[in-house]
Structure 1
Amino acid sequence: MALVTGANSGIGQTIAVAMAQAGAHVIAAGRSSCAETVALTKGEELRIEMSDPMAAQEVFAARRIDILVNNAGTIRRSKALDVTEKDWDDVMDLNLKSVFFTAQAFAKAALPRGSGKIVNIASLLSFQGGVEVGAYTPAKHGVAGITKLLANELAAHGINVNAIAPGYIETPNTRPLHQDATRAEAIRARIPAGRWGRPEDIAQAAVFLAAPASDYVNGAVLNVDGGWLAR
């Protein structure tokens, strides 16, 4: 059974569909309706407010969940000098604090059976500074750190913790970049693969990190970026 947070649309929905196609029973979790995802996966819905970092504490105690995909996230675009404390806290609570405590709750439930897969969604901004993403960049750096920390502590117990760092993917979150024709083309021109990524590119990587094929992969932050970071 796989729980995918932020599964109502975009990358999260596509990951949920790919997990279902690979044979998992999927729980689509989100603050808003995941009805479309449930229809696509023939799974079930969990309405949960992931901006509350402790919201998932009881989810894993109630039933066996073998795979956790920490995908829920948000972004606030503004210059660093304009970031407010509320912007900072909102982004950190959902993108970082929730990732840690949801993974912690999953791991506590998985330890007795000695198996489990955690896939965190990091970012290119786990490695780079970015522009006008003053809270998002520190949060995504933190996701990479959480992934490595938990892998160090959990790998010996049969729990794999890894992350995916998506490149520039065509989703609603990147719509402001798509709408800036000059910047969108500049981004595409730098990507060795010659195109923006699609949610399916991330979904297949998530399936790999959730499958037995990745049983000896621990603490990795897998760049799925068309070669952006290699450029």
Structure 2
Amino acid sequence: MTKLSVNINKIATLRNSRGGNTPNVLTTALACERFGAEGITVHPRPDERHIRYQDVYDLKADITTEFNIEGNCQEQKFVDLVLANKPTQVTLVPDALGQITSNHGWDTIRNRAYLTDMVRLFQDQGIRVSIFVDPDEDMVEAAAETGTDRIELYTEAYAAEYGFDKDRAIHPYFKAALKAREVGLGLNAGHDLDLNNLAYFNQHIPGLLEVSIGHALISDALYLGLEETIKRYLAALK
């Protein structure tokens, strides 16, 4: 079964909008684990507009499932944060400064030497590494040459196309997944996956190990409650 990692950035966004510590990021993460989530994901950014760097330390101390920290390894503060906390996995995302949300994967061909160095840096500390990529077979193959353990397929294009033509939407992701298997990479996915499109994606992507879902899941929890929402996402991954 594909693992569900819950991205709790939106909980931090809500907290920060009012100040104080409500809703509590750590309490939410522990509840997600209690309700069946197999991982917790955070994506701290330099301006700390949602997840704060201190949140990462607090979460690392208490969560018991897989901990995935996403972010831009070109920011030294991010690198230092990951090395200090040694999560289960670090996902390298090429965010620009001030970017609202992730909107593209790495060019693993152009950045192969740099990514190779970063992968080795984290792996030497016992941290599994995943590189965020678009569903492009050439980018998948070049990612493998960096020595990374996994890639994470950026799924916004799939989500946008899903309601119009499911087969066309899934096709590049299926091909990318086959390439990942061919070159020996583990496979994650994330961005705009939701209760409408998740099951179909999971059923048609061979070797999918983990999905990271935040915005849609937290939004659904407003209507369904967090426990019921996680239950439904887990059901979609069976």
Classify the TM-score, shorter chain: 0.3 to 0.5
Normalising to structure 2: TM-score of the pair? 0.34
Normalising to structure 1: TM-score of the pair? 0.34
